[in-house]
Structure 1
């Protein structure tokens, strides 16, 4: 229960202001990780924690994406870093370009989370890219979003963060689905925590 509450608290903070700049987001994340009650860090890491390591903020990785709703998708159990299998449904697709190359990511909705007050419109955007296992966490990264009100949405990869299990094995984290693996280096967002 404590793990779930910690996740919800982090989620609240991450989605506090949709218009939050990349820098504000990163400052907020650092503040949360530096607060004992909210931090996913192990006791050992927390004692020496000063800041997360981020790629330099890069406007190239703030992209406009076309949102396409995908109704009638079947609920499925998403694999995690443990035996837990939370239920998700594919909610839609985001298509965009970087350096003139087309990309697509699926947006997912957590079934249980939609039943919690304040989280009904939460969407989950997990992705992996060519930096995974090198500069960034091998298991991929996440971006939190709300249900789009328009056909065009902004994806700010500078706001990409690591799953909690990148810091502490006691957490159970969704594994990025293979269809959300990008064939490009996303040099933005949080880097890996340990070398």
Structure 2
């Protein structure tokens, strides 16, 4: 195993075992325009697992979202639409707002989660050089408009301008990216290990951008989506075009494997 792959696996472990891990998520609560009560009471739209019956209110007015605690001054909150969202902390609890195609939801996290159940770690297939594949990066003309579902059943329209094309054991394969950025290209895929050795809803893969019409797909870096660790994530699902007709025994295995 290369040092680069060892470092990546160590980073994954640190991310999932830390206080801000997906394993610490305690709830996902969809907001309504207007006032949204936050607290441990049953009549709160955002229900905290502990703390005051009424901690404060999230106020959604048009494009603005603000937090009004019962004790203290109001402040405007940023969602995750354009980067790191604003967090509201109370003792061991923290919550922040996610924007999903104009719908807002509060994600509640317990930052002390590991004290109750420490992270058991991840399992991986043995590193395999044959699963670091150099693919052709071909232009789609015209671009493809693709409806991508997430685990909640909602659809997001993705405009795809390129595809990765490669061969495995004589089989011609195409993978469509979910997003193409300046620093990385993001794929969501399924294969014949899905639901067996790996997470049933598929896996994620991030790679460096293409160079000179080639893109390197290193499936040793395939990893579980957040929804493999918590029901409070809204992960995209692989489109049918990205259902590979063979097993990819590389990268992360399903949690607990």
TM-score (norm 1): 0.76
Corresponding residue number in structure 2 for 1:188:
250
Structure 1 alignment gaps of length 5 or more: 1-19, 111-118
The structure that is helix-richer by fraction is 1
For residue 133 of structure 2, the aligned residue among 36, 42, 63 is 63
Distance 1:122 1:153, change over 3 A: closer
- Given that 1:65 and 1:94 are in contact with CA atoms closer than 8 Å, whether structure 2 keeps it comes out as yes
> 2:201 and 2:151 mapped to 1: Cα distance?
9
Please give the per-residue CA displacement for 1:122-166, whole angstroms capped at 9, x wherever unaligned.
432111000000000000101113432321121100100111001
Matches within 5 A, 1:1-195: 21-37=4-20, 39-42=21-24, 43=113, 47-109=117-179, 120=182, 122-194=184-256
> 2:217 and 2:115 mapped to 1: Cα distance?
30
SS at match of 1:67: strand
Structure 1 residue 28 displacement after superposition: 1.2
- Given that 1:36 and 1:46 are in contact with CA atoms closer than 8 Å, whether structure 2 keeps it comes out as no
SS at match of 1:72: strand
Structure 1 residue 120 displacement after superposition: 4.9
Distance 1:45 1:79, change over 3 A: farther
- Given that 1:122 and 1:145 are in contact with CA atoms closer than 8 Å, whether structure 2 keeps it comes out as yes
Instruction: Report how many aligned residue pairs link the two structures.
Output: 168
Structure 1 residue 83 displacement after superposition: 4.4
Distance 1:68 1:160, change over 3 A: same
Structure 1 residue 95 displacement after superposition: 1.2
TM-score (norm 2): 0.59
| Structure of higher CA gyration radius | 2
Please give the per-residue CA displacement for 1:77-111, whole angstroms capped at 9, x wherever unaligned.
4210014433422131111122343222112327x
